[in-house]
Amino acid sequence: MKRKLRIGIIGCGAIAQELHIPEYLDSGEAEIIALSDTDLKKAQAANERYSLNAQLFPSYKDMLKKAAPDAVSVCLPNYLHCAATCDALQAGCHVLVEKPMAASMAEARKMVAFADKYKKLLAVNQSQRLYPAHIKAKEVLDSGILGKVLHVTAMFGHAGPEHWSPSGKWFFNKKQARFGAMADLGVHKADLIRFLTGKEVAEVNAFYECLEKKGATVEDNFVSTLKFSDGTIGTLSASWTVKGIDANYTILHCTNGTLRVCLLPDRPLVANLVNPECEIVFKVPEPPSNTNLGWGLDTGGHFCRAIKGDEPLFCPGVEGMKSLEIIFAAEEAAKKGRTVKLTHK
């Protein structure tokens, strides 16, 4: 029997309890040996909920030192991602950090540099890469039947994080979250369009506003226009004010037709071709529950198998950094009212 990886969880709020912990347990690849949260009641609740018998720590630094896990998930508010990730890497742990990976590009670069320095894996939980329809969509695009991608439309929206994380007040505080819907949801689609197309964004324009979330110091709506390095253009939008039905779709208009990804609930992947003229409805596995949040996609299992060398890392730190750069460029473009060019450095 293969040895299970010893996992520590840094931050025991909703994303840890609803995603990271159950996915590690379901994977069969890991055991959770330690939980850390400054509010020890959250760690205790997680420990009891999943019958973990884990060590509990109010300080993640003590957890890293005393429990010595093989790997950790960093599930803290965004502004704490960098410090916890770098401390864990330096302590000899592989790290799976929640998105957005950092609160600045300087922090993101530091995290990537630490992973290189200490020769540990750094993964960013850009889980839309693992959604079955997205994996199949990439296969279809790579096959060439649709030709060259010319225009991309990507949208991700729901009613807001308060509906799945009632205690997560930090989402609405700029000092703690750094962004609102732009990075909470928009970075998922920024990463996805890079993953699907293999293209890099070269220039960005954008607008954002807080239209509904009272007391928030971050935006709840965001829209941007993108120009890729090869001239492809597109739009990227995110919203915390989508009601009645969530929006989580990508449309790719190509030289030989259009690919609709997760636009139609009963047909998650549909291609309409012009040569030959036809519609192809691709069969994809049934989506797991809570897929709008990326849950049920075996992110913990993929991370563990990458650590063991059994498969590639689904989103390495450098990939998360490139996707996050799109969001920072969009923010700058919106603030300055002009096009911003990306450096990819």
Q: What is the average pLDDT value for the chain, to the nearest integer?
A: 95
pLDDT at position 287, please?
Answer: 56
In DSSP terms, 267 is beta-bridged to 264
pLDDT at position 13, please?
Answer: 95
pLDDT at position 293, please?
Answer: 44
pLDDT at position 257, please?
Answer: 98
CA distance 165 to 343: 35
260 within 8 A of 270, measured Cβ to Cβ: yes
Residue 3, exposed/middle/buried by CB under 10 A (0-12, 13-18, 19+)? exposed
CA distance 331 to 180: 11
CB neighbour list of residue 142: distance below 8 Å, 6 or more residues apart: none
**Which pLDDT tens digit goes with each residue over 92-145?**
999 999 999 999 999 999 999 999 999 999 999 999 999 999 999 999 999 999
**Which pLDDT tens digit goes with each residue over 74-97?**
999 999 999 999 999 999 999 999
The closest alpha carbon to 181, from 227, 205, 226, 212, belongs to 212
Q: Higher model confidence: residue 345 or residue 40?
A: 40
**Which pLDDT tens digit goes with each residue over 184-239?**
999 999 999 999 999 999 999 999 999 999 999 999 999 999 999 999 999 999 99
Residue 41, number of CB atoms within 10 A of its CB: 9
CB neighbour list of residue 329: distance below 8 Å, 6 or more residues apart: 201, 204, 340, 341, 342
Residue 243 in this model has a pLDDT that exceeds 50? yes
The full DSSP string for 64-119 is HHHT--SEEEE-S-GGGHHHHHHHHHHTT-EEEEPSS--SSHHHHHHHHHHHHHHT
Q: Which two tokens stand for residue 239?
A: 């919203």
**Which pLDDT tens digit goes with each residue over 27-37?**
999 999 999 99
The amino acid present at 79, given as its one-letter code, is: Y
CA distance 140 to 189: 18
pTM score, two decimals? 0.95
Residue 166 in this model has a pLDDT that exceeds 60? yes
pLDDT at position 289, please?
Answer: 55
pLDDT at position 223, please?
Answer: 98
Share of the chain above pLDDT 90, in %: 93
CA distance 129 to 125: 9
**Which pLDDT tens digit goes with each residue over 264-315?**
989 999 999 999 999 999 999 875 554 444 457 899 999 999 999 999 999 9
82 within 8 A of 111, measured Cβ to Cβ: yes
Q: Which domains does the chain have, with CATH numbers?
A: 5-127+297-315 (3.40.50.720), 131-283+323-341 (3.30.360.10)
pLDDT at position 292, please?
Answer: 44
Q: Tell the residue number behind the tokens 């993953």, with chain if given.
A: 195
326 within 8 A of 222, measured Cβ to Cβ: no
pLDDT at position 286, please?
Answer: 74
pLDDT at position 310, please?
Answer: 96
The full DSSP string for 145-195 is TT-SEEEEEEEEE-S-GGGT-TT-GGGG-HHHHS-SHIIIIIHHHHHHHHH
Is residue 249 helix, strand or coil?
strand
pLDDT at position 18, please?
Answer: 92
In DSSP terms, 234 is beta-bridged to 152, 226
pLDDT at position 38, please?
Answer: 97
pLDDT at position 343, please?
Answer: 84
